[in-house]
A and B are shown apart, each in its own frame.
Chain A
Amino acid sequence: MKILVPVKRVIDYNVKVRVRMDGSGVDLANVRMSLNPFDEIAVEEAVRLKERGIASEVIVVSIGVAQARDVLRTALAMGADRAILIEATVDVNHDIEPLAVAKILARIVRQESPDLVIAGKQAIDNDMNATGQMLAGLLGWGQATFASALQIVDGNAIVTREVDGGLQTIRVRLPAVMTADLRLNEPRYVSLPNIMKAKKKPLEEHALASLGIDASPRLKVVRTVEPPQRGAGARVASVDELIEKLKNEAGVI
């Protein structure tokens, strides 16, 4: 079976985000960018399915600026077979909304006819947690979100999901959309030889305009500010002093 994995180029999760003073957004100039960590898990799962002989081909797709080629090459080095880049903007500050991304992905799904789409649970920049669900809705496919375990049995995906209060297992008829949670797997490191091999793997590029999809934003971001900062705290020297302060100063116990 064929697996499609959407991946996103985001600010590296170790970078301390700086909010611009004028409220116009987050400073992305000269900041380290990487493959979204949840997407890394999605790619890993797809590659493992291929290694177990369950998947025949793994296609990775990214939608955004031309620099997203880098994260596609990373995914190819992890073991994906080929990549598709949809160049949707030239401005790194322009985040394409999940609804638009889902519409573009739906088009690619109709062209490529995968049996399973594995996306990350959320992107760590916009923290939306919506694209996979929207894609499933647009396609009329079943969905299995926040997956921590996956089995393919007789044309179904048996997926264990992380929900509030524990775990839930569901069976979803293929084709379907799944989104990966952190505990699904531990992504591999890419080796230098695999990085070199990835350079020879096919990477198609298309301009968004050629698809004729309206990707204009529905949400206008009018302001981005730093969250209120907490005041400096106090060091306490002992358990007794801590209890005294919690009782008499903070009044919380």
Chain B
Amino acid sequence: MSVLLLAEVNNGHLVVDAVAKALSALAPLGDGIDVLVMVGEGDSAARQAARLDGVRRVLLAQGDMLAHGLAEPAAALIASLAAGYTHIAAPATACFRNILPRAAALLDVMVITDVIAIRDAATFDRPVYAGNAVQTVVSDDPIRLLTIRTSVFHAVGEEKGEAAPIEAVPTVPDPQLSTWVEDSTVVSERPELTSARVVVSGGRGVGSRERFGDIVKLADRIGAAVGASRAAVDLGYAPNDWQVGQTGKVVAPDLYFAVGISGAIQHLAGMKDSRVIVAINKDADAPIFRVADYALVGDLFSIVPELTAKL
């Protein structure tokens, strides 16, 4: 087995949690994983990757066209490196959901997305139907391209000994099909949603953007990330990158607070692997209570401030 892992990079820095979790997911495939770091410039992400457990070597590709995660140059580069590998994997982030299927088409192989278990070199589990079923698939392709649902894996640690070697790889010509214009990033001091240990999410029941402030206060009090249901995002209570669900982010924290969230299947698809789920809702029949470990039926406008004060 020879595995290439594509590293998630944000502003030139390695997204360590996503990469470390993908490394542990891939560990059953063999004894040494190459990590490809694609950046505009600089080698700090590569140096961070080189220290993670299980990394054999780091391939560093630098170039302006790789700075913003554009799919066309990245997929072309990945396809050019594929010959030496049996598996190419990436965390199932927005960046690689965009790139990897394109690379698969260039290589004439299928892509296997959102893998939650690697059974052997050819056999993988993935959720379908918004997480209401789990399929086991066997791939006949000569090279397997996977995205890993990192929320279900533990992160590997840092290597105690020597860091893995870093090698520069030549880039391929930019196909110049698309150009980056701008990013509008939501600045946040809070933990990142997909890697937070505790998540506090609000839904339609929160009632207004102002009152969503109570959810944020509770989260900040306990050092949690803030999430939201689709309804809360559509109503303008919360920005859309807070959305948890089939079409938003998939999280699996130790503790998930669902406040004023009814629990539609599309939302459950994004959080039902959390270790402990607490639901606070005034409707005793809300479907969220079917997955909640602790259910508190009542008025969230009095419960949330009380919880914030007492925690």
Contacts and interface: CB of A to CB of B under 8 A. Distances in A.
Interface of A: 11, 13, 16-17, 19, 26, 97-99, 102, 121-122, 124-138, 140-146, 148, 158, 161-173, 176, 181-183, 218-227, 230-231, 233-236, 238-240, 242-243, 245-246, 250, 252-253
B230 A125 contact: no
B11 to A, nearest CB: 10
A36 B185 CA distance: 30
A163 B289 CA distance: 31
Contacts of B137: 219-222
A167 B184 contact: yes
B246 A127 contact: yes
B181 A158 contact: yes
A145 B104 contact: no
Given A233-B295, A245-B294, A143 B98 contact: yes
B95 interface: yes
Contacts of B108: 99
A167 B186 CA distance: 8
A16 B265 contact: yes
B233 to A, nearest CB: 8
Contacts of A26: 128-129, 133
Interface of B: 10, 68-72, 75, 93-95, 97-106, 108-114, 123, 126-141, 175-186, 194, 198, 222, 230, 234, 239-241, 246-247, 249, 254-255, 265-266, 272, 275-279, 289, 291-297, 303, 306-307, 310-311
B152 to A, nearest CB: 11
27 contacts: A11-B129, A16-B265, A98-B111, A99-B108, A127-B128, A130-B104, A133-B99, A133-B102, A137-B106, A138-B105, A142-B178, A144-B178, A145-B71, A163-B183, A164-B95, A165-B186, A165-B241, A168-B184, A170-B178, A170-B180, A219-B137, A224-B135, A225-B133, A226-B133, A226-B134, A230-B277, A246-B278
B293 to A, nearest CB: 4
Contact of B71 (A143, A242, A245): A143
B134 A227 contact: yes
B292 to A, nearest CB: 5
A252 B254 contact: yes
Contacts of B140: 218-220
B186 A171 contact: no
A168 B180 contact: yes
Contacts of A98: 101, 110-111
A131 B183 CA distance: 25
A97 B110 contact: yes
A127 B135 CA distance: 11
Contacts of B278: 242, 246
A145 B102 CA distance: 11
A156 B281 CA distance: 47
Contacts of A240: 310
B292 A233 contact: yes
Contacts of A223: 135-136
Which 9 residue pairs spanning A and B have beta carbons closest together?
A142-B177, A137-B105, A130-B101, A133-B101, A134-B105, A137-B102, A218-B110, A166-B185, A169-B181
- The secondary-structure label for the interface of chain A is mixed
Nearest to A139: B105
Contacts of A176: 177-178
A189 B246 CA distance: 23
Given A125-B128, A125-B129, A140 B175 contact: yes
Nearest to A177: B102
Nearest to A222: B136
A134 B255 contact: no
B80 to A, nearest CB: 14
A224 B98 CA distance: 26
A19 B129 CA distance: 10
B181 A165 contact: no
Contacts of A145: 71, 97-98
B234 to A, nearest CB: 8
A239 B128 contact: no
B306 A239 contact: yes
Contact of B296 (A16, A158, A165, A239): A239
A240 B95 CA distance: 42
Nearest to B70: A170
A234 B294 contact: yes
Given A98-B111, A219-B112, A223-B136, A172 B178 contact: yes
B102 A227 contact: no
Interface-centre pick from A97, A164, A227 (highest chain B CB count, 10 A): A164
Given A137-B75, A138-B105, A252-B254, A17 B178 contact: no
Contact of A141 (B103, B177, B186, B292): B177
Interface-centre pick from B97, B106, B254 (highest chain A CB count, 10 A): B97
A132 B180 CA distance: 19
A146 B98 contact: yes
A221 B292 contact: no
B221 to A, nearest CB: 11
Contacts of A182: 230, 247
Given A145-B97, A235-B297, A170 B177 contact: no
Given A127-B129, A242-B296, 16 more contacts: A17-B129, A17-B132, A133-B98, A133-B99, A148-B240, A168-B180, A168-B183, A170-B178, A181-B247, A183-B240, A227-B133, A233-B292, A239-B307, A246-B294, A252-B198, A253-B311
